[in-house]
């Protein structure tokens, strides 16, 4: 990438999408001129469990070169860099890299690490674009971009298939632009030709959290510099969580690097509770089976009184298992889903 790019305009475009985000992403990319002097970096929430066709899908939508990043790769204008499933993508000076760093907002890849790393590396040259999705990944990353002099674009929640992600970002900070997906491509074109300042201070918090995504400076001493110890525990590793000193977004980090918005933390706690309840049902059912086995053995030996005692214990354990199973059957969701929204964890969600 030429050294004088910062004098030409904003040439680093980072985009984040989750549930319902593939269609607007395709719209944005299809509206970009292949001759435009920008590099585009894309994160879509998806698991790493199966091969992806997303890169091929995006390549059919744009004349720009689409690369699914697998290792450290030089940054070249006219290229779309796609985060691989199951790994974060980070923008560095002159190259892009991937890492299996800790999940953020319960995702890897996540939007915040990409946005934050780009803000640190390229400051005012960055354009951050947030599209359709659930919960609030991307809001903290947009704050980092804004803090480093970049431009923030949010897809209009009114047209987003899943409005929570853009809406949460919109409630967190005033974007430079909140527009339909169709208008984002032309905006990027305009911004790419707008001269910008040559430098902008980078908040220490942006630097430190970017390093945490690379498993650097992720110990207790460093996380204590940017937050205060909270009474909550990390749903991922069960360590202590620090409430991050962020005036814009309520969020949390553990010292191993897992990060959560408040909404993502609630979902994580809810899932942990569900797992614990299923474990309790299993344990109680095994207890029932064991008590019944003992009772049958005692009754077969003529010890009816002892058999009746174990049968009563089996009955009590079964009642407890049934009660917990009913709780699971009727649901323990803490955050209501949006109308028409289906719980998802598949590619593009």
Q: Which residues are catalytic?
A: 18, 45, 137
Other Cβ atoms within 10 Å of 286 Cβ, number = 12
Q: How far is CA 224 from CA 64, 141, 203, 242, in A?
A: 43, 20, 16, 7
Whether cis (ω within 30° of 0) applies to the bond prior to 109 is yes
> Is the distance from CB of 312 to CB of 296 less than 8 angstroms?
no
| Separation between Cα atoms, residue 324 and residue 273, nearest integer Å | 12
Dihedral sign of CA atoms 179, 183, 186, 188 in order:
positive
Residue 285 CA to residue 169 CA, distance in Å, equals 45
Distance CA 198, CA 200 (A): 7
Describe the strand order of the beta sheet including 12-17 as a list of residue ranges: 65-68, 79-82, 39-44, 12-17, 126-130, 151-155, 177-179
* Residue pair 172/149 in contact by the 8 Å Cβ criterion: no
Three-state SS across 290-338?
HHHHHHHHHHHCCCHHHHHHHHHHHHHHHHHHHHHHHHHHHCCCCCCCC
d(CA 1, CA 189) in angstroms, rounded, equals 18
């Amino acid at each position: 990438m030429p050294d004088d790019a910062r004098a030409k305009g904003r040439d680093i475009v980072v985009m984040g999408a989750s549930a319902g985000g593939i269609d607007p992403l395709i719209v944005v990319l299809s509206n970009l001129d292949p001759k435009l002097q920008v590099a585009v970096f894309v994160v879509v929430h998806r698991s790493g469990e199966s091969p992806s066709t997303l890169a091929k899908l995006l390549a059919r939508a744009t004349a720009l070169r689409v690369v699914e990043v697998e290792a450290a790769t030089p940054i070249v204008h006219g290229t779309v860099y796609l985060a691989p499933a199951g790994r974060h993508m980070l923008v560095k000076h002159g190259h892009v890299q991937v890492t299996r760093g800790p999940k953020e907002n319960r995702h890897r890849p996540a939007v915040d690490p990409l946005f934050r790393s780009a803000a640190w590396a390229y400051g005012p040259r960055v354009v951050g674009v947030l599209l359709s999705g659930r919960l609030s990944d991307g809001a903290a990353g947009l704050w980092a971009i804004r803090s480093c002099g970049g431009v923030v674009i949010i897809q209009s929640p009114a047209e987003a298939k899943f409005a929570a992600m853009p809406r949460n970002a919109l409630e967190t900070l005033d974007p430079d632009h909140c527009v339909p997906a169709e208008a984002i491509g032309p905006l990027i074109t305009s911004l790419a030709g707008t001269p910008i300042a040559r430098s902008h201070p980078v908040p220490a918090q942006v630097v430190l959290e970017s390093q945490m995504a690379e498993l650097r400076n992720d110990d207790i001493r460093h996380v204590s510099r940017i937050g205060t110890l909270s009474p909550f525990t990390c749903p991922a590793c069960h360590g202590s969580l620090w409430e991050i000193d962020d005036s814009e977004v309520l969020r949390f980090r553990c010292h191993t690097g897992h990060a959560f918005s408040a909404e993502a933390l609630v979902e994580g706690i809810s899932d942990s509770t569900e797992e614990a309840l299923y474990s309790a049902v299993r344990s109680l059912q095994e207890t029932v089976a064991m008590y019944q086995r003992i009772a049958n053995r005692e009754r077969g030996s003529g010890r009816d009184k002892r058999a009746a005692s174990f049968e009563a214990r089996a009955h009590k354990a079964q009642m407890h298992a049934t009660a917990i199973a009913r709780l699971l059957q009727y649901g323990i969701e803490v955050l209501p889903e949006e109308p028409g929204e289906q719980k998802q964890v598949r590619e593009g969600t």
